[in-house]
Every structure is written in C-alpha cells, then in structure tokens.
Amino acid sequence: MGKALKNLKEYLFTLSPGPIRDVVILEGLLSEAWEEFEDDYGGLSGDKIIGRLEEVKWYPPVLGFTIERHGAMKYGSSRAELQDWVLNVIDGTASYTVTGYRQVYKRSPALKTKPLAEQIGKLIIERKETDMLQWYDNKTRVRIIIGEVIPEDTAKQTVVARRKRFRRDLTEYLSQYGWEQIRPNNYRFSLDH
C-alpha cells in the first residue's frame, strides 16, 4: 500500500460511517491516492475528482461516490454519464458501474426529415441550382451536398441518424418521379420510369 493510499485510509477511519457532507479534505487525499488503487480507472484521473464527487458514503472499508463523466460530450453529446464508484481502502481495489445519464445541455430539437426530403426532392425534380446540389451529365445525375442539407451541428450519432432518415425519405419521394439512388446522396434520372 502506497503512502497516499495509507493517508486516505487513516483519514477515512476517523470518520463516522454514513454519508460524508464535507468532502474537501477527502477529495484532496483521494486525488493523491487515486493511481494507487488497482483498476483501469475508466479513463478517470485523480485530478478530475476534485469538486465533482456526489453522494459520498463511507461504510468501512468501502468508500462510495457518484461522479459525472463528460467523455461523450467532447463528441457532441448533450448528456454526461453517471458512474457509481466503490473503493475498498483495505485491499486497494476500485470499480465502477454506469448508473445513468444526466442532461447537461439542452437537446437539439427534433428534425422532421420528410418535409426536408420533399423540399430537396422538388429542387431535384425542377433541376434547380443550389449550394445543396451538385449536378452532372446534363442534370440527369445529382449529388446531395449533405453537409449543406443537414450540417454537423449536434452530436455525431444524431447527425448520422438524421442523414440516414433523410436519405430514406428522399429516395422514397424521388422514386415517384423517375429518380433512383445510385449510392448514398447520389441520384440519377432514369428514362425507364
């Protein structure tokens, strides 16, 4: 057992079992001892603990707490993962489970792709020039500039799902007018219609 973990253990054993309200000293000691616990740490480093512990409980020899993790938010998610951690200060083990999510930022409003697909579909049928379309072969083939139609302004998973629904709705709409999808975001007019 390392010195930092020993200091944490000694401090905890001075506390009464149950919830811990004042966690300032505990956070400092835990941060210093963090790397001495046996675990993969779930990407959590000791310095990320300070000021973020919730529902801290001490039931010797186990210290438990909840922490809000923001890893997915760097990829555009509006939710933080909640992890419940259990640390045994006698054997130096640590483990966690994901117990839920917390909405940190307002979610992006829902996008109705069917009206959008009809709008773009009409531009294609009328062979209009726009930043959202790139025409080929005398306007018998078109590529949708998908980033102009559905920009990457929200979580990646949301953008991917919106674009998939849009393509499905656009393909369905255009098929009524002799256009067929030749690959994602690319359509051609078929004279066989």
Looking up tokens 């109705």 gives 112
d(CA 193, CA 180): 10
Amino acid at 10: E
pTM above 0.75, yes or no: no
Alpha helices in the chain (DSSP H): 3-12, 24-33, 113-125, 146-149, 156-175
Our CA angle for 20, 39, 29, nearest 5°, is 35
The 10s digit of each residue's pLDDT in 11-70 is 999 999 999 999 999 999 999 999 998 876 677 888 888 999 999 999 999 999 999 887
pLDDT at 109 over 60: yes
Q: Of 47-56, 96-105, 146-155, where does mean pLDDT reach its minimum?
A: 96-105
Looking up tokens 């559905």 gives 150
Backbone angles phi, psi at 43, to 5 degrees: 80, 0
